[in-house]
């Protein structure tokens, strides 16, 4: 079956530091890959996504590249802000078909950014 | 992007009562909606897939008689937690996928419902 593994947190950084959150996956075929962010007490917001190998998803300064050869989708940001403090989830979904949108999530990584 | 509204955002109920949570797609039609459960400081676990006009598909280990799902229209799915117990306290999140199903259409999430059973 499908699975997603994220680096364990929590991750604590100072403002303007570089961020990497590792994500690797196991899936049949070619899944779509996502990063979601969850702020305290809220639901999930899509941060970025990639649907095929070598695609780079980007949003709000965050980037992740779909690496099929290493089955990875690591999240990076060059300079984090206090407002980036949240829980980040890596997820995958089968491409197309009736199962599309049925997400398998990683365990989540708590990020705390200090001023 | 598309908007999914979940209601209520928070609910407290007494043990033994039932609670209904609504998930609505506000500006698109959704043939498929998904219900997830999130335990404190843990990831989201898919509970069931809700299909408009047909029975929901439950994941292994999820009690279908306890978590009743109804998807009566293309814009509304409901999750009813029956005879709730304190162990059912959790954060429930729905997501909806736009219809007709197209490759690479994403699922949009509601804001979640915090259920506390006392």
Q: pLDDT tens, B22-54?
A: 999 998 888 889 999 988 777 889 999 988 888
3-state secondary structure labels for all residues of A52-78: CCCCEEEECCEEEECECCCCECCEEEC
Q: For chain A, give the mean pLDDT.
A: 91
CB contact under 8 A, B97 and A100: yes
Query: Is residue A98 predicted with pLDDT exceeding 70?
Result: no
CB atoms within 10 A of CB B37: 20
A36-50, A56-70, B67-81: segment of lowest average pLDDT: A36-50
SS3 state at B17: coil
SS3 state at A98: coil
Size of interface A-B (CB pairs under 8 A): 71
pLDDT for res A29: 81
Beta bridge mates, B22: B7, B78
A49-79 burial, b at 16+ Cβ within 10 Å, e below that, comes to bbbeeeeebeeeebbbbbbeeebbbbbebee
Task: Say if CB B21 and CB B7 are below 8 A apart.
Answer: yes
CB contact under 8 A, A102 and B1: no
Of A32, A41, A44, nearest to B104 by CB-CB distance is A32
CB contact under 8 A, B101 and A42: no
Reported residue count of chain A is 115
Residues of B with CB under 8 A from a CB of A: 1, 6, 32, 34, 36, 41-46, 49, 93, 95, 97, 101-112, 114
pLDDT for res A97: 62
Q: Please give the average per-residue pLDDT across B7-16, as a whole number.
A: 96
Name the burial class of residue A89, with classes exposed (0-12), middle (13-18) and buried (19+) by CB atoms within 10 angstroms of its CB: buried
Residues in B closer than 8 angstroms to A97, CB to CB, are 101
Selected for mutation to probe chain B from A36, A42, A91, A101 (highest B CB count within 10 Å) is A101
Residue of A nearest to B48 (CA): A102
Predicted confidence band of residue B103 (pLDDT cuts 50, 70, 90): low
CB contact under 8 A, B101 and A102: no
Q: pLDDT tens, A13-23?
A: 999 999 999 99
Q: How far is B37 from chain A (nearest CA, A)?
A: 11
CB contact under 8 A, B95 and A103: yes
Query: Is residue A95 predicted with pLDDT exceeding 80?
Result: no
Reported residue count of chain B is 118
Q: Please give the average per-residue pLDDT across A81-109, as a whole number.
A: 86
């Amino acid at each position: 079956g499908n699975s997603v593994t994220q680096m364990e947190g929590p991750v604590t950084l100072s403002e303007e530091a570089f961020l990497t959150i590792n994500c690797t996956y196991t899936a049949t075929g070619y899944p779509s890959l996502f990063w979601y962010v969850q702020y305290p007490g809220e639901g999930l917001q899509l941060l970025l996504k990639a649907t095929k190998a070598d695609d780079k998803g980007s949003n709000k300064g965050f980037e992740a590249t779909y690496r099929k050869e290493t089955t990875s989708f690591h999240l990076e940001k060059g300079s984090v802000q206090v407002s980036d403090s949240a829980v980040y989830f890596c997820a995958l979904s089968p491409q197309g078909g009736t199962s599309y949108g049925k997400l398998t999530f990683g365990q989540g990584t708590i990020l705390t950014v200090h001023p | 992007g598309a908007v999914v509204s979940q209601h209520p955002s928070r609910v407290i109920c007494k043990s033994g009562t039932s609670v209904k949570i609504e998930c609505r797609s506000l500006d698109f039609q959704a043939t498929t909606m998904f219900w997830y459960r999130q335990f404190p400081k843990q990831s989201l676990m898919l509970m069931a897939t809700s299909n408009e006009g047909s029975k929901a598909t439950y994941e292994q280990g999820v009690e279908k008689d306890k978590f009743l799902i109804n998807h009566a229209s293309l814009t509304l799915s409901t999750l009813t937690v029956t005879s709730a117990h304190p162990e059912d306290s959790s954060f429930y999140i729905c997501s909806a996928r736009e219809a007709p199903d197209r490759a690479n259409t994403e699922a949009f999430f509601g804001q979640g419902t915090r259920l506390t059973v006392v």
